Amino acid sequence: MTARVGVVTFPGSLDDGDAARAVRIAGAEPVRLWHGDPELHGVDAVVLPGGFSYGDYLRCGAIARFAPVMETIVDAARGGLPVLGICNGFQILCEAHLLPGALTRNQHLHFRNRDQILRIESAGTAWTNAFQPGQEVLIPVKNGEGCYVADTATLDQLEAEGRVVARYLAGNPNGSQRDIAAITNQAGNVVGIMPHPEHAVEALTGPSQDGLGFFTSVLKHLVGAPA
């Protein structure tokens, strides 16, 4: 049976169509989920896409965190549902307290859009098991508020528990502490990433196809998950 991966659309979402396309290329069935509908319609995993949900008012992700669909996603994620938050989706995951820390204004105060080298630090999550630890990938980054921050105790805990999923190489585009580009929760089913793997799934349109591994990883995870 083909896995069904939900892609949420919020008012102001920008990359939901690209995320759905990446899911399809990976071999799963994308299921469009609406922010105002609390039902997940039987999906096996969820992607929170990039964009500017609710116009980034108050704080990025602060309003989207209270959308009806997020109440269901938070409960399901705590029960083991794989959830990937990309860029604005990462911000929403932090606002929903599914991941620690916060994403703040880039230190240089400029929007940054470029192809970015990352090093995969953890291949033990539902979204990165297709990679090898230490593998370098090339994925676009585009953000104005992508600077990951947390208190020292939280950063040390992420490091000690192997929950830093990816780091920036060849230059930090936003000033994120300890060059953190992606993190995961303790269970490894929830991952937030600031760069955009959905923009690196086809040779025609991306700088590489390195991003596809995030989407094929969750399919591999679902095959091995208990029924």
The DSSP code for 13 is B
How far is it, in rounded angstroms, from Cα 138 to Cα 119?
9
Taking only the tens place, the pLDDT of each residue in 195-210 is 999 999 999 999 999 9
Question: Is 71 considered catalytic here?
Answer: no
Q: Where are the domains of the chain?
A: 4-223
Main-chain phi, psi angles of 63, to 5 degrees: -85, -40
Backbone dihedral region for residue 101 (phi beyond 0: left; psi -120 to 50: alpha; all else: beta): left
Catalytic residue among 35, 196, 199, 221: 196
Q: Model pTM?
A: 0.96
Catalytic residue among 87, 94, 199, 221: 87
Taking only the tens place, the pLDDT of each residue in 129-182 is 999 999 999 999 999 889 999 999 999 999 999 999 999 999 999 999 999 999
User: What's residue 226's pLDDT?
Assistant: 55
CATH 3.40.50.880 applies to domain 4-223? yes
